[in-house]
Amino acid sequence: MGLIQLQIDGKKVEVPAGTTVLEAAEQTGIHIPRLCHDPELSPWGGCRLCIVEIEGMRNLPASCVTRVAPGMVVRTDSPAVVEARRAILELLLANHPLDCLTCEKNGECKLAEYCYVYGVKESPFRGEKHNYAVEDSNPFIIRDQNKCILCGKCVRACAEITGKNNLDFAYRGFNTRVSTFGNSSLLESDCVFCGNCVSVCPTGALMEKQMQNKARRWELKRVKTTCPFCGTGCNFD
């Protein structure tokens, strides 16, 4: 496979053809913010937080779905990029509960983290907010769609990792939401409660029920363990 030379934030980079700009930046030690990208899932380009400036291009392309090209000159933190990222975060916050202090995801919410990084404390945009009922009718997962940012990671994880296709986008515009078939609860759907959707969710939209009111994330320690649930004995940490 041929190698492509380009420049990212003034650094010369050489990566295999087919690499995305986000991956190339990562290999150079440059972190590009992302909400819908996950290396385990197919690229989607939905959240737009990973936008970058590329010399010669008038728009700001999403780096997670843009392939490198010879001689590309990329800037990941130009004033235009920073301003656009702030606007994206403000738009997301416009329809998001501001209950971070009591949210179970506090401490590992990617939306909160990037709002902090970009100094976004509130949204200048005022409008209707979702008021979905929180779903906790099953023993494993709490689903709060008011906190969903429609990044689609749960949809892809269900299809690509679990192989179930139990989740998909439904409705349009403001009413767009992630839904099971027939908009049933997780318990009434084909969900196998594997937890893959929960583990990729960047916000508090999908949470482990067992964790509720137990401890804050920063109080926990990761350990190697064996899942006792189905008897297969999968190891994970």
Q: How far apart are CA 103 and CA 109, in angstroms?
A: 9
Window of 39-47, 82-90, 185-193, 228-236 that interacts with ligand FES by CB under 6 A: 39-47
x/- string (CB under 6 A) for ligand FES, residues 41-60? ----xxxxxx----------
Site residues for ligand FES, 2-31, by CB under 6 A, read none
Window of 40-48, 85-93, 185-193, 221-229 that interacts with ligand FES by CB under 6 A: 40-48
- Is residue 37 within the footprint of ligand FES (CB under 6 A)? yes
What angle in degrees, to the nearest 10, is found between the helix axes of 79-94 and 110-117? 130
> Which amino acid appears at position 28 of this protein?
T
Report the nearest approach of ligand FES to the CB of residue 35 (Å). 5
Element (H, E) at 93: helix 79-94
**Residue 236: strand pairing partners:** 225
Q: Which of 75, 62, 72, 67 is nearest to 1 (CA)?
A: 67
Q: How far apart are CA 216 and CA 106, in angstroms?
A: 7
- Is residue 35 within the footprint of ligand FES (CB under 6 A)? yes
x/- string (CB under 6 A) for ligand FES, residues 57-96? -----x-x--------------------------------
- Is residue 153 within the footprint of ligand FES (CB under 6 A)? no
Number of residues that bind ligand FES (CB under 6 A): 12
Residue ranges of alpha helices (H) inside 110-220 are 110-117, 153-156, 196-200
Binding stretches for ligand FES (CB under 6 A): 34-37, 45-50, 62, 64
